[in-house]
């Protein structure tokens, strides 16, 4: 059996690829477990400073595995399966993750992309929350993260119709940060990851944590976290290096210390 998740290290970045092409990378329990395992391993690895999470040209992920997971599912079986702990574990990865989306990012696929820190899209990308067509609603954060990203009225329009959003519209509504040509989307996403990997990693981690907090807390609590993280970074060697490099007009080399 081929691995359902393939990790490729190109230090200081790593690419984690969902690999169930026959079912458009539908997310079953095994894929989610593998994703958590691989991402956690990379998060603990100081040599990796940015992760690209991707699928293949046809699909980032077409959502939860409907055939494997939903056909006989009951509330109790869903509760016992407890996929939420996997989604939460992915959310807690602090190494910046770039979701590189080509083709379909639907349902849980769109939700997985939204858990990442940045979404970039091939011009072929199509995002959507089509769960309504199955008689259900998004169950891995879609109603919350999409709404916080695109606003209540657009989120309702997308969630109630299940309409798919193409790359340019995804960029226009703030879901995708960049749209790349179909011929180079993955290379372009890796180039972005390498740019991020050159930055001081402790600052990058605290930055993504602070940005996440803008979703999860009050403005006062978020500002408080930001202020403390800002002060804390003045104790790092990388702050000395960054400031010294600026003053002496040279390129900084950050060590993550
Ligand atoms: N689960 C299981 N299998 C899937 C799948 C999914 N989510 N999406 C696609 N597949 C399978 C198809 O059944 C098909 O398999 P067979 O060849 O064995 O028939 C194969 O992948 C190729 O798919 P299609 O033939 O359907 O390809 P297409 O190009 O005609 O259509 C598509 C592509 C529009 C993405 C269509 O496959 C589709 O609508 N998929 C379902 C999308 C969806 O509803 N996702 C939400 C799932 S619910 C969810 O994610 C809940 C949550 O919040 C966690």
Q: pLDDT tens, 78-128?
A: 888 888 899 999 999 999 999 999 999 999 999 999 999 999 999 999 999
Retrieve residue 246's tokens.
Answer: 């600026």
The answer for 52, left when phi > 0, alpha when psi is -120 to 50, beta otherwise, is beta
Q: From the CB of 162, is ligand 1 less than 6 Å away?
A: no
Average pLDDT, integer, range 193-211: 96
Q: Whose CA is nearest to atom 47 of ligand 1?
A: 63
> Which residue ranges form the domains of the chain, and what is each CATH number?
5-197 (3.90.226.10), 201-247 (1.10.12)
Beta partners for 101?
A: 121
Instruction: Give tens-digit pLDDT for 150-192.
Output: 999 999 999 999 999 999 999 999 999 999 999 999 999 999 9
Tokens describing residue 79: 């509760």
Give the side-chain half-sphere CA count within 13 A for 68. 13
Mutation test residue for ligand 1: of 61, 66, 85, the one with most atoms within 8 Å of CB: 66
Distance CA 63, CA 157 (A): 19
Given a cut of 80, whether residue 2 has pLDDT beyond it is: no
Ligand 1 touching residue 62 (CB < 6 A): yes
C-beta of 37 in contact with ligand 1 (< 6 A): no
pLDDT tens by residue, 33-67: 999 999 999 999 999 999 999 999 999 999 999 99
Which candidate, 119, 96, 52, 115, places its Cα nearest to that of 208? 96
pTM of the model as a whole: 0.96
């Amino acid at each position: 059996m081929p691995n359902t998740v393939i990790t490729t290290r190109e230090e200081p970045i790593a690419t984690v690829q969902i690999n169930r092409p026959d079912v458009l990378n539908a997310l079953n329990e095994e894929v989610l477990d593998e994703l958590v395992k691989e991402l956690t391993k990379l998060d603990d690895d100081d040599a990796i400073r940015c992760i690209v999470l991707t699928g293949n040209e046809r699909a980032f992920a077409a959502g939860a595995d409907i055939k494997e997971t939903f056909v006989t599912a009951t509330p109790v079986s869903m509760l016992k399966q407890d996929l939420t702990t996997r989604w939460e574990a992915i959310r807690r990865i602090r190494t910046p993750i770039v979701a590189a989306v080509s083709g379909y990012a639907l349902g849980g696929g769109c939700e997985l992309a939204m858990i990442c820190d940045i979404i970039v899209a091939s011009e072929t990308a199509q995002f959507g929350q089509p769960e309504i067509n199955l008689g259900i609603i998004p169950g891995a954060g879609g109603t919350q993260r999409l709404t916080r990203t695109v606003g209540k009225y657009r989120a309702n329009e997308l969630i109630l119709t299940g309409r798919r959003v193409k790359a340019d519209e995804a960029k226009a509504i703030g879901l995708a940060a960049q749209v790349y040509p179909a011929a180079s989307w993955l290379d372009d996403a890796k180039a972005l990851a390498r740019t991020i990997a050159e930055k001081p990693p402790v600052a990058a981690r605290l930055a993504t944590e602070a940005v996440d907090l803008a979703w999860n807390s009050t403005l006062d609590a978020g500002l408080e976290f930001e202020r403390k993280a800002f002060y804390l970074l003045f104790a790092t060697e990388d702050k000395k290096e960054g400031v010294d490099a600026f003053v002496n007009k040279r390129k900084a080399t950050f060590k993550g210390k």
